[in-house]
Amino acid sequence: MQIAFSDDVILDSRRAVVLPKQGTLVLADLFLGMGAARRKRPDLLPASQQNDIWERLLGLLGDYQPKRVVLLGDIKPNQGTLEDEEQQELRVLFRKLQSQGREVIQVVGHPERSWGPSLEGTGIQPVDSYRVGYNTLMHRRRIFVYPRHDPPQGFWINGGLHPLFAIPILGADGSEEWLRYPAFLYTGFALVMPPFVSYAQGWEVMQPERLPRQARAWKVLGDRLAPITLPELRPPPEALKNLARSLAKGRKKDINPADLNDAASE
């Protein structure tokens, strides 16, 4: 399902943004396969997840025939490390992305830290932003703090912090239940994207009272997109506002997702 956000921005329910006049397909956090090390963990990802990624990716390339693909964020988590079959997996990926002379651009928050074996032989040099038409692509962990966009008729398209919305529904027994949905969010300054991989969720549920009055959002429902009526959306229960992020090695406390939203220094 596609929604025409503007005359040159399409939201696709396959978790992609398309800029048709510029022939550009934008994906946030492709994270193909999440890496061989991830697949060895006890919480092994089902094969259906991996197949779904490939189906959506190949479907988008076939449907839109873009001349350019922009990847927001790392191609692999810790993209300086490759294990087992990852090298072959990445070569297959880049053959698909770069076929028919297609240009591939990678946008990351810190290009100087993003070079690694996963990019060797690809011809890709990560950049910190990329202008496409009037709009600028970025990958930063921020929702509200953006530089003034130039030109003013354009806006930022950000893949660095993935919106989640908690929405109440009626359960089977008639009681109220809350479900969290990934979403596209437009704040009036930026269009913020969901991750391309369904298991790389955001870490904070959006609170409607914190959003600008002009904000708009569309939740992802499988192969559909549905608008969220933000003025009528109640604040989520406290227990649903944050998702616990697993501790990094050597860390003694959780990362507070609220500290990520407005990090203008990133």
- DSSP line for 96-165: HHTGGG-EEEEE-S-GGG--SGGGTTTT---BS-EEETTEEEE--SBSS--PPPSSTT--EEE-SS--EE
* Mean pLDDT across 235-244: 70
Q: pLDDT grade, residue 245 (50/70/90)?
A: very low
Residue 62 pLDDT grade (very low, low, confident, very high; cuts 50, 70, 90): very high
What pLDDT score was predicted for residue 47?
A: 55
Type of residue numbered 130: Y
Interval 109-150: pLDDT, tens: 776 666 666 666 667 778 889 999 999 999 988 767 788 888
Which pLDDT does position 201 carry in this prediction? 63
Q: What percent of the chain has pLDDT above 70?
A: 72
CA-angle at 76, arms to 241 and 15, nearest 5°: 55
Q: Three-state DSSP class for 76?
A: coil
- Could you give phi then psi for residue 91, rounded to 5 degrees? -65, -40
Give the pLDDT of residue 242.
Answer: 63
Q: Which segments of the chain does DSSP mark as H helices, in order?
A: 36-39, 47-64, 86-97, 258-261
Q: Is 222 left (phi over 0), alpha (psi -120 to 50) or beta?
A: left
Instruction: Give residue-wise pLDDT tens across range 208-217.
Output: 888 888 999 9
Cβ 157 vs Cβ 134: under 8 Å: no
Residue 31: pLDDT over 70 = yes
Hunting for tokens 């692999």 — which residue is that?
Answer: 76
- Residue 186 sits at the vertex; the CA angle it makes with 126 and 156, to the nearest 5 degrees, is 30
Residue 68 pairs in a beta bridge with: 24, 103
- This prediction has a pTM of 0.81
**Main-chain dihedrals φ then ψ at residue 221, nearest 5 degrees:** -120, 80
pLDDT at 265: 33
What residue type is assigned to position 109 of the chain?
Answer: G
- Given the DSSP bridges, would you call strands 156-158 and 190-192 parallel, antiparallel or unpaired? parallel
CA distance 69 to 104: 5
Token pair 């130039």: residue: 150
Sequence-ordered alpha helix ranges (H) in 131-265: 258-261
What b/e string do you get for 140-165 counting C-beta neighbours within 10 Å, with b at 16 or more?
Answer: bbbbeebeeeeeeebbbbbbbbbbbb
